[in-house]
């Protein structure tokens, strides 16, 4: 999937959208040194723009698509199946008109098929047991690292040592 990142200065506001929901100041402070704050703000902006644009679509189609990205040329939507891709393309003019009304410069609709991830029912998070080869690899990796905390975690993941010669 293509990702375009737009600086705050070039990010248009969304007319008619609710005011942006901001992260709590402590959360933004934690992100500030990582460079992730702008990514989070971009994601929030796209999340606010998505329903504004989808309201121009029939309800059944709007439920099957999601805004993925916007730049100066393209309006990128994801759909769950090829049939929705074809139907969404029929509404390209409506989406581009809604984008223009929201102050965006996009002139082309790009539609990509991205099947949804299968939902994992709650309570079925049981993991498969590790093979002995994986356990041996974790133990070997644990012996090769100098950080005692990391070594302990790797050994914990590997399970109990096979013998007392494993050390640590």
Beta-bridge partners for 66: 78
Q: Which of 5, 3, 13, 66 is closest to 37 using CA atoms?
A: 5
Per-residue pLDDT of the chain (168 residues; tens, 9 = 90+): 443 334 344 444 444 444 445 555 566 566 666 777 788 888 889 999 999 999 999 999 999 999 999 999 999 999 999 999 999 999 999 999 999 999 999 999 999 999 877 776 766 666 678 889 889 888 988 898 888 888 888 888 888 545 444 444
Question: Strand, helix or coil at 74?
Answer: strand
Q: What is the dihedral of CA 109, 106, 44, 60, to 10 degrees?
A: -30
- DSSP class of residue 5? -
Q: Which of 39, 36, 40 is closest to 23 using CA atoms?
A: 40
The pair of structure tokens assigned to 31 is: 């992100």
Q: Name the strand (E) or helix (H) holding 66.
A: strand 65-70
Do β-strands 74-79 and 65-70 pair in parallel, antiparallel, or remain unpaired? Answer: antiparallel
- DSSP class of residue 81? S
- pLDDT attached to residue 131: 87
- Whole-structure pTM value: 0.55
- pLDDT attached to residue 168: 45
- pLDDT attached to residue 93: 95
């Amino acid at each position: 999937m293509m990702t375009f990142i737009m600086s705050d200065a070039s990010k248009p506001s969304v007319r008619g959208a609710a005011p942006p929901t901001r992260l709590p100041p402590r959360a933004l402070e934690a992100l500030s040194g990582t460079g992730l704050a702008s990514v989070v703000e971009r994601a929030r902006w796209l999340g606010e723009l998505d329903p504004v644009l989808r309201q121009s679509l029939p309800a059944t189609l709007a439920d099957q698509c999601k805004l993925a990205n916007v730049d100066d040329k393209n309006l990128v939507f994801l759909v769950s199946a090829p049939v929705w891709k074809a139907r969404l393309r029929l509404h390209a003019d409506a989406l581009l008109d809604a984008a223009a009304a929201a102050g965006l410069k996009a002139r082309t609709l790009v539609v990509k098929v991205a099947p949804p991830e299968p939902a994992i029912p709650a309570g079925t998070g049981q993991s498969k047991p590790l093979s002995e080869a994986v356990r041996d690899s974790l133990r070997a990796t644990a012996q090769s690292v100098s950080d005692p905390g990391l070594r302990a975690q790797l050994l914990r993941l590997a399970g109990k040592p096979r013998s007392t010669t494993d050390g640590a």
